[in-house]
Amino acid sequence: MDSLLQQAVEVLASVPRMLVFTGAGISTESGIPDFRGPDGLWTRVDPDDFTIERYVTSPDIRRRAWRMHLEGALWGARVEVRPNPGHQALVDLWRAGRVTGVVTQNVDGLHQAAGLDDDAVAELHGNVRRVRCLGRCSTTWPTEEVLQRVEAGEEDPHCPACGALVKTTTVLFGELLSPETLARARGMADAAGAVLVVGSTLSVHPAAGVAVSVVQRGAPMVIVNRGPTDLDRLAAVRIDAPAGSALPTLAEALTTPPASTSR
């Protein structure tokens, strides 16, 4: 184990439980590009098209979005991506009782696919695998059900109950985060004695504020991320490595009972 990983183990072993905060970097090893990288989504589409204002006012934007979901471009119900060793390592930490919860900016559902219960994950930016009505009825469906309607010829599907627009539960620019999800994330943060940040540049707010709230109480932060983050100065330890290689080592060290000694 290299020295930085050893330092991270020592920091995290000193507290009963930690918050885990994840971003796009944990999923890149599953084949999902990040948003801002050289192969990211913003190199292929205009980020301004992902505002709630454009979505509700432009049928063309909605039709394009559903086509992209249908083609798997937005990692919805049709994409065959699998959790990687980084996701699995977090499940090991959770099952060992070392984690208060996983707060994620990701919308891919890979934490649950790896084995975390829904109540162990706070998806701040929603999930591409479910669709909700934007009208008063607020009905929700699996994304796959709506994609079947798109395949059948509904280019811009609406709610069958009230006729309102529908969209995936992902949070677009200009939308507020779910108050219930944010409150649950803050509860996980309040119960943590440290925070482990994985694959996030900590540049998107208010999401990053959940991780920062742990540090503001005087608790340590460990960052595992390829490249710098906006808050490296606050980290007790920063590891520039892929999540899929660093997290299994961390998890094993933090979940393996110390060897007993005989007299």
Residue 111: active-site member: no
Catalytic residue among 69, 125, 158, 205: 125
123 membership: H or E segment, kind and range:
strand 121-123
Tokens, residue 27: 């999923």
Tokens, residue 79: 């994409």
Entry pTM: 0.90
Tens-digit pLDDT profile for residues 197-243? 999 999 999 999 999 999 999 999 999 999 999 999 999 999 999 99
Radius of gyration of the chain (CA): 20
Q: Are 105 and 124 in contact (CB under 8 A)?
A: yes
Q: Is 14 exposed, middle or buried (0-12, 13-18, 19+ CB in 10 A)?
A: exposed
In 3D, which of 207, 248, 240 has the Cα closest to residue 224? Answer: 240
Tens-digit pLDDT profile for residues 4-36? 999 999 999 999 999 999 999 999 998 887 655
